A and B are shown apart, each in its own frame.
Chain A
Amino acid sequence: MRILRAWLARLAGLRERDRAEQDLAEEMRAHLEMRIADNVRAGMSPEEARRAALMESGGLQLAADSCRERRALPWATNLLQDVRFAFRTLRRSPGFTAVAALTLALGIGASTAIFSVVNAAMLQRLPFLDPDRLVMVFERSPTTPKPNVVNPRNFLGWRDRNRSFQTIAALVETGSSLTGDGEPEQIDRLIVSDSFFPLLGIKPILGRWFTPQEGQAGGEQVAILSAELWRRRYGGDPHILGRRIDVNHTPRTIVGIMPAGFRFPQTRADIWTPLILDRSEVNAGGRYLRTLARLRAGASMASAQADMNVLASQLQKERPDFDSKWGITVVPLREQIVGDMRTPLAMLLGAVGLLLLIACANVANLMLMRGEGRGREIAIRGALGAGAWRIARQLLVESVVVGVLAGIVGLLIGLWTMRVLTAALPDNIAYSTIRQIRVDPTVLLFAIGLSAATGILFGLAPAIKAARSDLQPALQASGRGVAGGRSAMRNALVVAEVGLSMMLLAGAGLLIRSFANLVRVAPGFDARHVLSMQLSEDGLFKTDVDMLNFNLDILQRVRRVPGVEAAGTSHYLPLGHGGIPGTGFWRADRPQPHHGEEPMTEVLCILPGYFAAMGIPIERGRPFGERDRAGAPFTVVVNAALARQFFPGEEALGKKLYIEWGHPDNPYEIVGVVGDVRQESLDQAATPGLYLSTLQEPTTPVYVVTRTLGDPKQLARAIQSEIRAMNHDIPLSDVRTMDEYVADSVSAPRFHAILLGSFSALALLLAAIGIFGVISYGVAQRTKEIGVRRALGAGTAGVMRLVLVQALGLAATGVAIGLAGTFAGARVLRSMLFGIAPNDALTFAGVAAGLLIVALLAGYLPARRAARIDPLRALRFE
C-alpha cells in the first residue's frame, strides 16, 4: 500500500514539477542560511561560515538532482523530456516533419479506412443469439457443387427427422406490392416459417412473432413490418397493431414491428409474412427455400453434416424421381455471409498494407538521411555522456512522435476516405450491406496501434544505426556528418519500396485490364435507349385472361407514346439482380432422358415486342406474335447457343422440344433463333437459353422494356402515366435504363480497379520520391568525387550516366524482387479476374517498364544537378 501511495505521489510529482522545484530551492536556501547563522554564532567570520556551510552541503545542485529523481519517476520525466525535445527538433525542420507525417498519414489513412470496412464486414459478431451455432442448410445438386435452395417437402423431412438441430427455419424472399393506404409501393418481402424469429433470438419492438397456426393453410393472414416501413409509411403509429394492410392485394393484419436495422443474412426486408408449409401437392416440386438452423447442444458442424448425409440418402430412396442424387450441405452462417467478401477484402487489405510498408520505407529513409546529417549532433551528445540506448531512445521517440502525428492526420484522412468509400460502394458488391461503417473502438485502436507501430518500424533502422555508431569518425569528419558509403540500408529500403510498388502496380494492372476486358464484352442486347420498369401485378387479377389482356393493353398504350419504338415485357431482366430461372428440356425427336438428368437451360417468358425493344437480333425464323397464344400450337424461340449445342450441324428451326417449365406433355416448335445474351453477368459466357410466349405460359410479367428514339429517361414519366391510367394501384419501381444495368453489373470490378489503381498510383509516387531522395542524397555526398571526375575530364553525359545507372540499378533490383512477389501474390486475384491470367506477362512487363521509366525520371533531376557540378567549387567544398 505504501509503495503504491509513493508511486501515486511520484506520478503526481510529474505534474507539479515546477512548484516542487521552487519549494525545494527555498527549503535548501533556508537550510544553508540557518547553517551559516549557526556557524557565525559558533564564532566564524561570515565568509568562513558561508564557505564551511557550502562545503558541508555536498553540492546543492547534486542534492536537488537526487531530490528530483526521488520526487517523480525519472524515466517518465526523461520520456517527457524526450518527447519535448522531439517536438523541438521536429519543429526546427518543419519540411521534413510535414513530408514524413503526410507520407505516413496517407498509408495510415488508407489502412484505417479499409480496415474499418473489414471490421464492419468480417470481424463484427452477427447480431443474433449465439451466432456461432447458426448454420444454413442447402440441397446439393448432382450437377454443380454450388449450394442449392431447398424443396419445401424436403425441408419438412429435415425438420421432422434431423438429430442435429435445435430448431430449423425456412424462408423465401420475394417482391410484393403494398396498396390500399396511400401510394402503391413495391416492397421487399421475406416469407418465413414461424420458427425463424425465435431461432435468431431477437425480439419485436412492438407486438409479437408468428404463431404456429399462422403457418398453416387457412390460418390468419398476418404480417410484421420493418421499423423503417412503419416509420416511413405509417408515421411510427404506436397503435398500428391489428391494422389491416393490402399485400399483393390481399388484406393482412399487422401483428408486430421488427427491430430497426434488421437484416438477414444481409438482405433487408420491408415486411415479413408466415410461410405456409404442409405436405400438400403445391410443396412437392420446386426448390426455392433457404434454410436456417441452430445446432443443438453437443452437435458439431461435422456431426450435423454426417447426420444430414444419412438423411439425404433416405430421402433419395423415398422420392427417387425428385431427390435422386441430391445431397445436403451444411454451411456455417458466418461462412455463408463472409465467404464472398473474403477475396476482395483480403486483396484491399493487402494493398493498403503494402502501401503502408512503402510509406514506412520512405520515411525510414528520410530519417536515416536526417540521422546522418545529425551525426555530429548525436556524436556530441554521446561524448557528453548520453548512453547509446539513451540516444537510440531519443531517435525512436522522435519517430514515434512523427508516427502519432501521422496517425492523427491519418485518422482524418481515413474518416474522409471512409465517407467517400461508403458513398461510392456499389450496391451489388459482396460487402455493400456493410454501410454502417463507422469508427468504433476497434478501428480507433487499430489506427493508434498502427501509428505507434509504424513509428517504431521506420524509427528502428536509424535508432539502431545511431546506437551502434562510433563517435570518433563522426566528430572528426569536418561538418559532413557520418560520411557516405554506408548507404546499404538506404538502398535496401528503396529496393524494398520499388519491389512493393511493383506488386501493387501489377495487381492494379491486372484488375484494370480485367475491367477493360469486361466492358468490351458485348452483352448480346443493345442497351442504348432502353428503359425498363418493374410492375407488381401479383394478386391483382382473377384470371390469366384478364392479366394477359391488361398487359397487352399496357403495351399498346406505351407503343403509342411519341418517341417509343418498341415495347415488350419479360419476367427477368438481363444483368438485373438475382439468378435467371432454369428449366429442364430435351429434344422431342430423341428419347426422354432419365428424370433429373435432363439438360438445363435458361428460360424467359416474354410478351411480343421484347426482342425489338431489347435489340436482340433475330438470327433465323421469327419472334413471337400475338398468334402464339393459348390454344395455338406451342412455340419456342431459342438462342444461338442452344441451337449450336443441341442441334449441331442441323437446322434447329422447325424442330420440337419438350420443356418442363411449361406444358411438359406438349412439344414446342422452335420458330426462331435469336442472338446469345449474357443474362446473369458480363463475365459469364452465354449458356443455352430459350424464350416462351407469356400468352401461352401465363406468368405475371415483371418488367416492361421500351426502346425509345432519344433519351429514354425523358419518356419515363409519359410511359408511367400510361400505365397508371390503366390502373393507379399498380406499384411501379426501378425505372432505369438498360445502360444503368450494364454499368451496375460491372460496378464491383470497376470499384476494385479504381481503388487498387489509386493505391498503386500513391505507391508509385512514394517510390519515385524515395528514389529521388536517395539519389539526390548520394549526389550531394559524392559532390567531391564527381568534382574530381569532372576535373579529370568526365563529360556531362558521363556524369549523368553515372547517376542514372545507380537509379536504374536500384529500381531494377526492386522490380526483380517485386516480380517474384507478384508471381506469388497475384494468384489471390484469380477469382476477381476476367479474360486475363493472374500471371499475365504483358501486364507485368508493362508495369516493370513503367517503374523503370519512373525511376529514370526520379533520377534525372539529381543527375542533372550532378552534371552541373563545378569542379572548382566541388573541390573547395570541404
Chain B
Amino acid sequence: MGENTDVWQGTLALMVLRTLESMGPLHGYGVARRIEQMSGGMVSVKYGTLYPALIKLEQEGYIAAEWGVSDHNRRAKIYKLTRAGGRKLAREARQWERTTTAIARIFAPPEEAL
C-alpha cells in the first residue's frame, strides 16, 4: 500500500456518497475500507481527510449520522445518504462523467493527423 495516493476532497466527497449509495448505512471505517477495496488499494483514506469530509457533508445535509452498532458489536457512528445526498450524487456523477470523458478525449491518441 506504500504508493497509495491521498485523494483530494471534492473527489473524496463523491466517493463517500457513492459508497453510501451502494453499500447503505456504514460507519467511517467501513467507508474508508470500502473505498480502498473498490480502488484496488490504489487509494488510501486517511483520518485527517476522511473525517473532515464526513463532517462537511453532514453539515451540508448530504449525509446523516447517528450512533449505532457495527457488525462487531462495537458502538460506531453510522452514516447514511440523505435524499439531498442522492440528488447531489446523481448530479456530481453526471458532471464527473462529462469531465472524465472530456479529459479522456484530450489524452486519447489523435484519430487523424491535424
Interface majority SS (helix, strand, loop, mixed), chain A: helix
Contact with B along A42-69 (1 / 0, CB 8 A): 0000000000000011111011001101
Residues on A with beta carbons closer than 8 Å to the beta carbon of B32: 31
- Which residue of the partner chain, among B28, B30, B44, B49, contacts A56 with CB atoms under 8 Å? B44
A469-526 contacts to B, CB under 8 A, are: none
- A553: Cβ under 8 A from any B Cβ: no
Binds A, one of B17-25, B51-59, B102-110: B51-59
**Are A69's CB and B77's CB within 8 A?**
no
**Are B48's CB and A27's CB within 8 A?**
no
Chain A nearest CB: distance from B42 CB in Å? 15
**Are A6's CB and B56's CB within 8 A?**
yes
Bound complex: CA of A71 vs CA of B56, how far in Å? 7
Residues on B with beta carbons closer than 8 Å to the beta carbon of A71: 55, 59
Chain B nearest CB: distance from A42 CB in Å? 12
- A10: Cβ under 8 A from any B Cβ: yes
- Which residue of the partner chain, among A27, A58, A60, contacts B28 with CB atoms under 8 Å? A27
Bound complex: CA of A589 vs CA of B20, how far in Å? 119
**Are A63's CB and B47's CB within 8 A?**
yes
- A5: Cβ under 8 A from any B Cβ: yes
B2-40 contacts to A, CB under 8 A, are: 27-30, 32-33
Bound complex: CA of A26 vs CA of B67, how far in Å? 11
Bound complex: CA of A28 vs CA of B58, how far in Å? 17
**Are B72's CB and A37's CB within 8 A?**
yes
Residues on A with beta carbons closer than 8 Å to the beta carbon of B28: 27, 30-31
**Are A70's CB and B47's CB within 8 A?**
no
For A26, A38, A58, A69, which residue has the most chain B Cβ atoms within 10 angstroms? A58
A3-42 contacts to B, CB under 8 A, are: 5-6, 9-10, 23-24, 26-28, 30-31, 33-35, 37-38
- Which residue of the partner chain, among B44, B46, B59, B77, contacts A27 with CB atoms under 8 Å? B77
**Are B77's CB and A70's CB within 8 A?**
no
Chain A nearest CB: distance from B43 CB in Å? 13
Given contacts A2-B60, A27-B28, A31-B28, contact A63 B74 (CB under 8 A): no
Residues on A with beta carbons closer than 8 Å to the beta carbon of B74: 30, 33-34
- B75: Cβ under 8 A from any A Cβ: yes
**Are A27's CB and B51's CB within 8 A?**
yes
A60, closest chain B residue (CB): B47
**Are A9's CB and B47's CB within 8 A?**
no
Given contacts A27-B76, A30-B74, contact A62 B51 (CB under 8 A): no
Contact with A along B51-93 (1 / 0, CB 8 A): 1100110111100000000101011110000000000000000
**Are B59's CB and A9's CB within 8 A?**
yes
What is the size, in residues, of chain B's interface with A at 8 Å between Cβ atoms? 26
Residues on A with beta carbons closer than 8 Å to the beta carbon of B44: 56
B67, closest chain A residue (CB): A23
For A27, A33, A35, A66, which residue has the most chain B Cβ atoms within 10 angstroms? A27
Bound complex: CA of A57 vs CA of B44, how far in Å? 10
A28, closest chain B residue (CB): B47
**Are A58's CB and B60's CB within 8 A?**
no
**Are B72's CB and A59's CB within 8 A?**
no
**Are A62's CB and B48's CB within 8 A?**
yes
B6, closest chain A residue (CB): A58
Residues on B with beta carbons closer than 8 Å to the beta carbon of A35: 29
**Are A59's CB and B59's CB within 8 A?**
no
Chain B nearest CB: distance from A444 CB in Å? 36
Chain B nearest CB: distance from A138 CB in Å? 69
Residues on B with beta carbons closer than 8 Å to the beta carbon of A37: 72
Given contacts A23-B77, A58-B47, contact A30 B29 (CB under 8 A): yes
**Are B52's CB and A69's CB within 8 A?**
yes
**Are B55's CB and A67's CB within 8 A?**
yes
Bound complex: CA of A280 vs CA of B1, how far in Å? 114
Bound complex: CA of A30 vs CA of B78, how far in Å? 11
Bound complex: CA of A10 vs CA of B52, how far in Å? 12
A13, closest chain B residue (CB): B59
A58, closest chain B residue (CB): B46
- Which residue of the partner chain, among A5, A9, A67, contacts B51 with CB atoms under 8 Å? A67
**Are B51's CB and A30's CB within 8 A?**
no
Contact with B along A377-407 (1 / 0, CB 8 A): 0000000000000000000000000000000
Contact with B along A69-92 (1 / 0, CB 8 A): 111000000000000000000000
Residues on A with beta carbons closer than 8 Å to the beta carbon of B58: 9
Residues on B with beta carbons closer than 8 Å to the beta carbon of A59: 47-48
Residues on B with beta carbons closer than 8 Å to the beta carbon of A9: 58-59
**Are B47's CB and A57's CB within 8 A?**
yes
**Are A5's CB and B59's CB within 8 A?**
yes
A-B complex: 7 closest residue pairs judged by Cβ atoms: A63-B47, A9-B59, A63-B48, A58-B46, A70-B52, A6-B59, A31-B29
9 pairs of residues in contact across A and B, judged by CB atoms under 8 Å:
A9-B59, A30-B74, A31-B28, A34-B76, A59-B48, A60-B47, A63-B47, A66-B52, A70-B52
